Amino acid sequence: MANELWPCPCGIGDRFDYEGCGQEVQVEHIKAYVCKPASTDKAVIVIHDIFGWQLPNTRYMADMLAANGYIAICPDFFAGKEPWKPSDDWSKFDDWLKTRDARKINKEADAVLKYLKEQCGAKKLGVVGFCWGGVAVHHLMMTYPELKAGVSLYGLIKDSDDISNLLNPTFFIFAEKDDFIPLHQVTLLEQKLKKNCKVDYEVKIYPGQTHGFVHRKREDINPQDKPYIEEGRKDMINWLNKYV
């Protein structure tokens, strides 16, 4: 069962028992999980949560994207540093997080983009990210114009954050019952985007859902969540299909 008492939002929901259909590769100074369809020039970078690039849940998302016609790559954006483990000392979490800034990943992003273009023949690029990775999507969509679409899934935002200077269309997925992203922050984000954003965007709140619902919760645990899990995944793919 899901342990709703874990102090980390990404810990809500079960870890998938999933092997993965792709393979691990070396991309310059980092490792990455890659899953490729038969033939395509479209690729999506999949950015992990605090549990790192090897989490089966995130690889499941990458494989799902590959099944929908995208080269999907999930790099180790922690660049070899240890991911967080549920058994770690939560009193040290803030210090751990300081050494893994989701806004300081340009070196890794550059390596991955080069790999996709030169080794995979990718010409159309997008990015999706979960929780920590959702914050990374905010950063990348304001930094890399070659990323034609972004999907940020429950990326933490603060009242002071202004991510309205997006370069290309970005979709924001939030959960109504997210204890870690208050709805007033989502409302403030919408206000800033409406006022300042020059590209297409969408902000969507999924009723009754908690943080991590798209990639962490399993339908057999919470059957009432299944329609929203499926809707979130479908919305993510539809956004990519529209703009990538």
Q: Which residues are catalytic?
A: 131, 178, 211
Instruction: For residue 229, count other CB atoms closer than 10 A to its CB.
Output: 20
Is the separation of the CB atoms in 47 and 37 below 8 Å? no
Is the separation of the CB atoms in 186 and 205 below 8 Å? yes
- Work out whether the CA dihedral 233, 234, 240, 243 comes out positive or negative: negative
Specify the pairing of strand 23-27 against strand 71-75: unpaired
Is the separation of the CB atoms in 135 and 156 below 8 Å? yes
Rounded CA-CA distance 73/30 in Å is 12
Site of tokens 């679409």: 149
Rounded CA-CA distance 53/76 in Å is 5
Phi/psi for 142 (5° steps) reads -100, 0
